[in-house]
Structure 1
Amino acid sequence: MRYTPLFERYRDGLLLLARVFLVALFVIFGWDKFLNFSGTVSYMESTGLPFAALAAGSALVMELVVGVAILLGFYTRPLALLLAVYTLVTALIGHRFWALTGGLRLDTVIHFYKNVSIAGGLLLLALTGPGKYSMDKR
């Protein structure tokens, strides 16, 4: 009888769970951007971001559409890579802790490194693939 490590036995189920956990944040906030698109545009304008409506639309697509696609396991590897790049770019644009001081700096540092960590998880997903519980495997 061959020994099968615990994680290997449940690999596909754990990959599905990991996809759910990894994209939950994107889907939730992407849905919020969809429901309150004008508010999202206004917020982006208030930060001085050029082409705020285009940026808000891009964020909506990346977070909601790409998030749901990864959740379903549809084109998982390339979309996980794309979402990892998006997440790093948003960290650099939206969480510029190096330009802040005081209590707000610490909060922004946390958000910056949260994005970096999520990008790492997305890179791992791009390497491992979605597992058998996905549209990619059908």
Structure 2
Amino acid sequence: MSALIESITESRTFGFIARTILTSMFWLSGIAKLADFDGGLLEMTHFGLEPAAFFNVATALTQLIGSALIISNRWTWLGAGMLAVFTALTIPIAHNFWAMQEPMRTIEFHFVAEHITVIGGLMVVAWKSATTSAVPAQ
């Protein structure tokens, strides 16, 4: 059974699907920010990011380029780093639970915990990519 699981998890297809799923929240958000530009502008304005158009485009590009690098398994460390830094920056900007009253404090705290977990997943994909590229092809 372990040989079967190993053959699945070591396949290129599994890696592609895993990287696509891991980054789905980013590329879906990036596409949405460009498809509904006015909605993206409202989001940036809501969080005090001005000029809103610049931050909307910069956010979408960061999400799309970072995702593309991870999905394509090219410069994966850079894409993971871009998305991890982006995710970390959203915590003080959009999820500052420490400055909120209950029940929002607890709700936003859980969002922060999820963001930290996503950062960990991005770290793992960067690590796995570096480990894989260091092993000679067989």
Shorter-chain TM range is 0.7 to 0.9
Q: Unpaired segments of 5 or more residues in structure 2?
A: none
The residue aligned with 2:70 is 70
> How many Å separate the matches in 1 of 2:105 and 2:98?
8
Cα distance in 1 for partners of 2:47, 2:89 equals 16
- Aligned position for 1:81: 81
Conservation of the 8 A alpha-carbon contact between 2:66 and 2:78: no
How many aligned residue pairs are there? 130
TM-score (norm 2): 0.79
Cα distance change on mapping 1:46 and 1:122 into 2, 3 Å = same
Tell me the SS of whatever aligns to 1:129.
helix
Separation in 2 of the partners of 1:5 and 1:100?
50
Q: Which structure features the higher share of helix residues?
A: 2
Distance, in Å, in 2 between the alignment partners of 1:47 and 1:82 is: 20
Q: Note the alpha carbon deviations across 1:66-121, whole angstroms, 9 max, x for none.
A: 21332222321221122111111112221111111112222211211111111111
Report the equivalent of 1:11.
10
In the aligned structure 2, how far is the partner of 1:47 from the partner of 1:124? 30
Give the AA of the match of 2:56.
A
How much is the aligned-residue C-alpha RMSD, in angstroms?
A: 2.4
Alignment of structure 1 residues 1-138 onto 2, 5 Å: 8-9=6-7, 10-12=9-11, 13-129=13-129
Stretches of structure 1 that go unaligned for 5 or more consecutive residues are none
Distance in 1 separating the partners of 2:96 and 2:111: 10
Query: How far has the Cα of 1:43 moved from its partner?
Result: 2.1
Q: Deviations over 1:45-77 (max 9, x none)?
A: 133223322221111011123213322223212
**Which moved further from structure 2: 99-108 or 23-32?**
99-108
Is the contact between residue 20 and residue 71 of structure 2 (CA under 8 Å) also seen in structure 1?
yes
Taking structure 1 as the reference length, the TM-score comes to 0.79
Higher relative contact order (CA 8 A, sep 6+): 1
Q: Are 1:92 and 1:112, in contact at CA under 8 Å, matched by a contact in 2?
A: no
Q: Is the Cα–Cα contact under 8 Å of residues 70 and 76 in structure 1 kept in the other structure?
A: yes
